[in-house]
Structure 1
Amino acid sequence: MTPVGAASRDPVFIEFGPRPEEETQLVRPGAREEYPPDVQTRLEADAASIVERYPDSRSALLPLLHLVQAEDGYITPAGIEFCATTLGLTGAEVAAVATFYSMYRREPTGEYYVGVCTNTLCAIMGGDAILAALEEHLDLAPGGTSEDGKITLDHIECNAACDYAPVVMVNWEFFDNQTPESASSLVDDLRSGEAVTPSRGETLCTFRQTARILAGFPDERPGAVEGGIAGAPTLAGLRVARELGMTAPDPSEVEAATTAEAPPPADNGRKGN
């Protein structure tokens, strides 16, 4: 028995690298290797409008990856090659970025990408139970997509909506305070073609349409770009601060106090000549 406070000598196994279920290859059977001439011409026109926004063309890589994801539904070898050729980069440079960010999909994705947050707060509030319920509720093919191609299910990392935990996201739109029952009803509505509106935002569009918006093209849904109002859970801290009469210090006073308390520079033993 290990004494209290003493370090255990039992080995701890820590596995690095991708999760076992995570797809890591961009080259797969059925993935586009190149675009037909008409698609290539259309993408080149869209890409030109994106690249011209940036003083350094390679800065356009992230929106260009969203552009090709809007075309294919995920990142394909054709998309990698298109971005590389457009920006004068190597395929390896583009693939390194595409595989770093989780918003770029490496496998075919359904019309609705459903992500269940399983980070700490959402998990203890029921996120793990929601994910398990959806996995059982949906008839998922390998890769996590339903047989009808409508839904792709995944667990996601924190999306900064902890005040509404547990949160489900569909095509990066928030559905707050979910339960296994409400989440199951949500995916049923999506699969049946019903118009679904998130907790914050306008009626959902498809995953590919969302990717095009993320590439920087206009979101034409009525009211989609209107300013929202923060909800009560988000403003709870502000409300408590006001009730207690708490205020932020004046920036100039903070700067003056910091300067006054700063220690003198170290001598380091150096003397003037």
Structure 2
Amino acid sequence: MPQMPAPDYPAEVRARLEADAREVIARYPDSRSALLPLLHLTQSEDGYVTRTGVRFCAEMLGLTTAEVTAVSTFYSMYRRKPSGDYQVGVCTNTLCAVMGGDAIFEELGEHLGVGNGETTEDGKVTLEHIECNAACDFAPVVMVNWEFFDNQTPESAKQLVDDLRAGREVAPTRGAPLCTYRDTARILAGFPDARPGAVEATGGAGHASLVGLRLAKGEDAPGRIVSPRSAPAERTEDVPAGGKEAPGTHPSSHDAPQETSASDPEHPAGPVSEEGE
């Protein structure tokens, strides 16, 4: 049985979305390039990418619904079914996982009674695995509607979702104030965030991420020169920088040269010969 055509938005909603869509499309030399922000725009209206939203994007951009669907199903930030007001993502990539991300995800699932990609009965929280969000120096990281909550534990993460479900104010570790998923989607569509404090909010990388930059700018002293392990044990000297001695606990001070096949003629390495196999 053929699928029925997707319904259209009510007239007043359609008019409002069309005005917003034209503003977005005007930013691009090729209207097709506006598809990603338009999908965010429809999510800000519906909470996820509906068949009506797909039809709207296709009509505004002169595309087929198949083309729009192909894009909306490729990117993970577009939802295919109704989800919560707060998308709670737990990073379970390598560093966050070994620092406790897996435990956080498991305990949140048990605490909320949901699995990956599922939403609580009250419609408040959707729990999901997320990929690395370039915040490894704050691991383990939880994100709510793409705002950072750093250095989490199972206990702090459970308190976080309890506060969200109870409607209590929750403040991200850094960045803009938290808002609902639909409000976030409108911001991602490219419209200004007019909330008080949003413009002044700042975020940034942590100290570990900035060490290399500060070294290059001469703001931090370089690490000590450390003798190879085969050398006699002697006191190492700090390398002066800017007239100051380097701190003995510099994060790179342990990077001593190591004996390798290239530096050890007595133990060369090379391809395994057929005779040795």
Identity of aligned residues (%): 69
SS in 2 for 1:169: strand
Structure 1, unmatched stretches of 5+, are 1-26, 248-273
Report SS of the residue matched to 2:207.
coil
> Contact 1:202 / 1:221 at 8 angstroms: preserved in 2?
no
Structure 1 position 235 matched with structure 2 position 213? no
Contact (CA 8 Å) 1:116, 1:131: kept in 2 or not?
A: yes
The aligned residue for residue 18 of structure 1 is none
Q: Which residue of 2 aligns with 1:53?
A: 27
Q: Where do residues 1-273 of structure 1 align in structure 2 (5 Å cutoff)? A: 33-140=7-114, 143-226=117-200, 227-239=202-214, 242-244=220-222
Distance (Å, rounded) in 1 between the aligned partners of 2:44 and 2:38: 10
CA–CA separation in structure 2 for the residues paired with 1:99 and 1:172: 19
Higher Cα radius of gyration: 2
Change (3 A) 1:230 1:151: same
CA contact (8 A) 1:116 1:130 kept: yes
SS in 2 for 1:234: helix
Q: Distance in 1 between matches of 2:104 and 2:35?
A: 35
- SS at 2:23 equivalent: helix
CA distance in 2, matches of 1:212, 1:43: 11
Classify the secondary structure of the residue corresponding to 2:14.
helix
Match of 2:210, as an amino acid? L
Structure 1 window deviating more from structure 2 (189-198 vs 220-229): it is: 220-229
Greater mean alpha carbon deviation, residues 217-226 or residues 146-155: 217-226
CA contact (8 A) 2:119 2:126 kept: yes
Higher mean displacement: 234-243 or 105-114: 234-243
The CA distance in 2 between the partners of 1:75 and 1:121, in whole Å, is 32
Separation (CA, whole Å) in 2 of partners of 1:49 and 1:87: 13
| Deviation of 1:201 (Å) | 1.7
1:118-164 CA-partner distances (Å, limit 9, x unpaired): 11111111110000010000033895100100000000111111111
Q: Which amino acid aligns with 2:207?
A: A
Q: Count the aligned residue pairs.
A: 217
Where do 4+ consecutive residues of structure 1 move more than 4 Å? none
- Give the counterpart letter for 1:60 in structure 2: A
Q: State the secondary structure of the residue aligned to 2:74.
A: coil
Tell me, what secondary structure is at the counterpart of 1:140? Answer: coil
The alpha-carbon deviation at position 240 of structure 1 amounts to 5.7
Give me the whole-angstrom Cα distance separating, in 2, the residues matched to 1:216 and 1:199: 23
Q: What is aligned with 1:22?
A: none
TM-score by length of 2: 0.73
Which has the larger displacement, 97-106 or 238-247? 238-247
Q: CA deviation at 1:230?
A: 3.9
Q: Which structure ranks higher in relative contact order (CA pairs < 8 Å, sequence separation ≥ 6)?
A: 1
Letter in 2 for 1:235: L
